[in-house]
Structures are given as structure tokens and as C-alpha cells.
Structure 1
Amino acid sequence: MTPITRVEGRRLALSNLEKVLYPESGYTKGEVLHYYATVASSMLPHLHDRPVSFLRYPDGPSGQTFFTKSPPPGAPSWVTTVRVPRSADQWAEQVTIADTASLMWAANLVVEFHTPQWRSQRPGLADRLILDLDPGPPATVVECCRVAGWLRDRLRADGLAVYAKTSGSKGLHLAAPIEPTPSDRATAYAKALARELEAEHPDLALHRMAKALRPGKVFVDFSQNAAAKTTAAPYTLRARSRPAVSAPVSWGEVASCQSPDDLLFLAADVTARLGRDGDLWADLIDRDRGVALPKPPRP
């Protein structure tokens, strides 16, 4: 029998609670749901007023995975959606996560949560700049931290406040709140920064995705600023071998990172961190009006 529970007055059917989703650690679907219930108050502000895309992995990371922007079939009527552009002349509905009940409904589908850099009512106007630091083996998150330090200082020189989180995989994400700016301009600015970094540190970083160029270097992915792109949301679990989380981190942790394990945070680690430190990205929410994005630096 499928257990029925109520969340904020909403009736939810939660299925397969004993199913092991992360075989390496034995982490079950019931534990996944408990994790999201625990972090909801910190996670929801980062999802607020942004259309959500889902990477679904219902049978665990080793099973079938698929990415969807459309509302899943059978979504309850109380799950809110918003109309967003898909192309120059096409619009479509997309889910927004407005409350804990919606978060738990989505979590029961076993998903990663991804959001764009713009809000639902301002499609294509980015209010956050994102830089995704992706290491090419044998480089690791340790090298990403070196790149992050350079980018933090460079962005601060342009007047931007910068926040860091783990990707929940191998790298880091950097975010800076900005005044609403056309996504193509934000992308151009981020690309110019990546090229500037590569020119200054060609042995460490690159702005091109070509696999042949990436071994031992950190790819600075600027493309997630494009209007159609999304980034893993803070506190989402990732479809990896263990229940790793895309977790906000302090700049002190970035500076002191000596090993990939230093910045690997599993679900239990994150709930403990929230209890001890609170949401390290809370100030980003408070600063969401941001500052004006400077003109792109010279490449």
C-alpha cells in the first residue's frame, strides 16, 4: 500500500520508500524524502519564482535518467506552473516550486532540481551571473578552488558579490547577483571573464569545451547564463553514486581545500551544516537586486 501523508494540508502519496536509490551507501528513497523535508526552508527561497526543470532518475543514478522541462504527467492541480518561452514563437508550461508540499511532490518523483538564471515573470532577464567550474582529470575540485579565487577577486573588482557552492559532482559553481540583464549580455560578460582567465593562466583554465584541451585544466563554463540553460539548484541531491548535494560553501573552505573530499558533502553532512551554519547563500537571496553588470572586459 502506498503511504499517504499530508504536507501543509496537501495530500501526498509517497511511493517505494524502502527502495535503495544509492546502492553504494544504501541510501533509500525514504531517506531522500526526509532530506528534502529537512532542508526545505533553506532550499525553497532559491527555487522561488523560477521555473524548475527536472533531471529524473527514478531507479537511481545507474538506471535510466532523463531531463524534462514539462510538468510531469499526473501533477496535482495545486502544483503551480508558469508560462515561459521555449523559442522565439513558442511558449510552454513549466513547474514552479512554491511551497514544501510542491517540493515533496517533486522529490517523490526522484529528481535533481535545476533552475535558469532568470525569474518566471522576467524570462531572459538574468538576475544572477553563473560560472560553472568543471575539472578535466587529473584536475579536481582543488584546481577549481584556485580558479574560483581568481574569479572571485576579478568579479569583486567589478563590484559584484560572489558566492560559491559545490556542483554536487566534481566541480564548483559561482554565483553573483546582478541587476536584471539580458541573458546574452550576461553570457558575453562571463565568456570574456573566462577568456581573460585563460590568457592569464593557460596552464590552469580554459573557456572552450573541447575534450582534447581539457585534461588537467578547469573548464569555465559560461554558457549556463544563456536564457535556455539551467544550473543545479542549491541543496539539490545529484544523480551520482552517493547522495551528494550541491552545497553552498564558505570562501574559507574554498581557500583551504587540499583534497576532493574536503568539498564533498552528502545529504547527512548538509543537514548538519545547516544546523550549525545556516544557509551560506542566504545573503545572495537578500542581494537579489544585485548591481549593474559592467561592460564585458576585453577578451
Structure 2
Amino acid sequence: MSPGDAQVVDVGGRPVRLTHLDRVIYPATGTTKAEVVDYYARIAHVLLPQLRDRPVSRKRFPQGVGATGPGATFFEKNVPGGAPTWVRRQTIPAEPEDEGSTRIEFPFVDDVAGLVWLANLSALELHTPQWRVGPRGAFKGVDRLVVDLDPGTGAGLAECASVAHLVAERLGDDGLDTVPVTSGSKGMQLYAPWPARAARAHGSTRDYAKALAEQLARDHRRLVVSDMKKTLRSGKVLVDWSQNHLAKTTVTPYSLRGRELPRVAAPRAWAEVGDDLEQLSPWEVLERVDSVGDLMAALR
């Protein structure tokens, strides 16, 4: 696939229109839209299971990362105009179990063609909730817990790594196995499956994560904070439990991020989570998947 004028390509039997493939999306590295499309096509076999039956919100960068002005960067939930007819879509409440909430026609990404279509729109970031819906849009319930670790000023990934081990130990005490993900931005997320037995034992993921964060903040005052006020976060890590609200989304594992450098929300092995932890590029992530497989396999 070479940069150039608009072209229609066949992706798994579906026609996908590609434009401006030579446009630089990450100026700091010269990374083009063609390379973004290539990454999403090559990572599809591990990314698609994370998107399956989840409504996909997108953060788009039509003129590339760092561009300014109207429409330079925006968050999009609805299916955009001109979307291919083969893109699956469902109109569902923005907040499940609240039929009074705003109804949105979300796209669902089922195949490589869907990923390539979104990459062509410069939808660098793919965000999903911690729940799935059925084929007719019925809410199927929460199936995973997420804890977001956000370092305040003066803290970084090393501090997040220390807190990640604390969180994983507490979750392990309750029989929940955790997968760490470096966010591709500043911090990390921790994911754990949330089977029916966990819901019966602990109630909602939001209440469970809130109690966990507050307890860690009490036990580790110099390192952890559960209050989102930025004035309290200097040198500490916010254990953000709010991502488990039904209306919230989190960047999907294996998604690119729209930061200065091309980086990925990358699943990690626990042996890596230490003082020398760094965010990973898309090329590093592709190499890792080839060598060690899908570290998110337990949460497919």
C-alpha cells in the first residue's frame, strides 16, 4: 500500500477508501497515515477481541498530532457521516440501564476492514467501556474491572509501577488476576476479569474500585491518593476508580495514543513492571506480540 491519491482497497472482502496516506500524523517521528493504517491492520488479531461487542468512541486527529484550530482534534461517539454501509452500528443509551440517557448510534468494529476504515479517519485512539452488548444492542453487563493509575506532578511510571503491585496484591486477595497495561500516555491501567461470582461477592465494579482506592490511600499516604483534586496529587499516584462508571470509557489495550510520540496502550508482563518501565511504540508492540503473544488473552 503506497502513499498517494485516494484509492479503494479490498480488506477481507470489504471495500475501504483510503486517502492522504502520505500525511504526517506524528510530526516528531515523521510517522505517516500509511504507517498508522499498517499498525492497525497488523495488530488486528489481538485488538479485535478487545473491541468485540463494545461500542467504540474515537479520538480523531485529522491533521495530525499537535495540529491546532477548529476540528484539529475531537472526540467522536456517533457513527460519522459517510461511514461504509457494512459498518455494524447500534443505537443504545449512553449509560446502560438508564433508558432516559442520551441514545447514541455507535459503531462496532468487527474486522480488519473496520480498523483500517477508522485508521484512515485518523481515529488514533479507540476508547471502550467495561461492558458489552448483544447483537440487538441489549446490555450484557460489566465483564471487567479497570483501575487507572495517573501520576501527579513529580511522579511517573516508576511510582505507578509501585502502586500497580499494591493494587494487584489487593485484587489477588479477592481472587482477581490482573493484567497491567502501560497507557501510552503518562500512566497505567490494570484490568481484571469480572465474572458473575465477583459481582455477587463485591457488588458493582465502581463501588469495589472506590473502596479499594480509598483503602490504599489510607494505607500508603505518601504514594497514593484517591481524591481527584490535582492539588493533592503532587508526587503521588491517583488510583482512579471512576473509570468503572457505566458511562465512562478507557483507552482500549493495543490502541495508539495521540501524544507527541507514537505510543500504544500496551499490555505488559508483571516481571516488567518496575522502576525502569517505559511506554512502548507501535513497532515495539508488534514485535512483542509476535514473540510473546497476546498478554490480554485472559480478557478477550
TM-score (normalised: structure 1): 0.90
Letter in 1 for 2:217: E
Correspondent of 1:119 among 124, 132, 142: 132
The runs of at least 4 consecutive aligned structure 1 residues that moved more than 4 Å come to 180-184
Q: Which residue of structure 2 aligns with residue 281 of structure 1?
A: 296
Superposition deviation, residue 184 in structure 1: 8.2
Residues 117 and 126, structure 1, Cα contact 8 Å, conserved in 2: yes
Gapped regions of structure 1 (runs ≥ 5): 286-299
Say which SS state the counterpart of residue 94 (structure 2) adopts.
Answer: strand
Query: What is the one-letter code of the residue matched to 2:44?
Result: A
Q: Work out whether 1:176 is the aligned partner of 2:176.
A: no
CA–CA separation in structure 1 for the residues paired with 2:91 and 2:132? 12
Does the residue aligned with 1:263 lie in a helix, a strand or coil? Answer: coil
Give the Cα–Cα distance (whole angstroms) in 2 for the partners of residues 237 and 24 of structure 1. 15
Q: 1:189 aligns to what SS in structure 2?
A: helix
1:152 aligns with 168
Q: Does residue 1:60 correspond to 2:64, yes or no?
A: yes
CA distance in 2, matches of 1:209, 1:184: 23
Gaps of 5+ in 2: none
Q: How does 1:212-227 map to 2 (within 5 A)?
A: 212-227=231-246
What's the CA shift for 1:57? Answer: 1.1
Aligned 8 A contact 1:51 1:95 in 2: yes
Contact 2:159 2:223 (C-alpha < 8 Å) held by counterparts: yes
Q: Secondary structure at the match of 2:147?
A: strand
The one-letter amino acid of 2:41's match is A
Deviations 1:257-288 (A, max 9, x none): 223xx321001111111111111111222xxx
Deviation digits for residues 119-166 of structure 1 (CA, Å, limit 9, x no counterpart)? 023538211000000001210011000000011010010011111111
Q: Write the deviation string for residues 78-129 of structure 1: whole angstroms up to 9, x where unpaired.
A: 0001222125324221110011111111111111100000002353821100
Counting only pairs closer than 5 Å after superposition, residues 285-296 of structure 1 correspond to structure 2 as 285=300
Shift of residue 23, structure 1, vs aligned partner: 0.8
Identical amino acids, percent of aligned pairs: 44
| Corresponding residue for residue 94 of structure 2 | 86
Pairing partner for 2:32 from 12, 28, 31: 28
Shifted more, 154-163 versus 181-190: the winner is 181-190
- Root mean square deviation of aligned Cα: 1.6
Instruction: State the one-letter code of the partner of 2:105.
Output: E
Q: Give the letter aligned to residue 279 of structure 2.
A: L
**Structure-1 separation of matches of 2:21 and 2:32:** 7
Q: Structure 1 residues 156-165 or 82-91, which shifts more?
A: 82-91
Kept in 2: contact 1:184–1:227 (CA 8 A) = no
- Paired amino acid for 2:275: Q
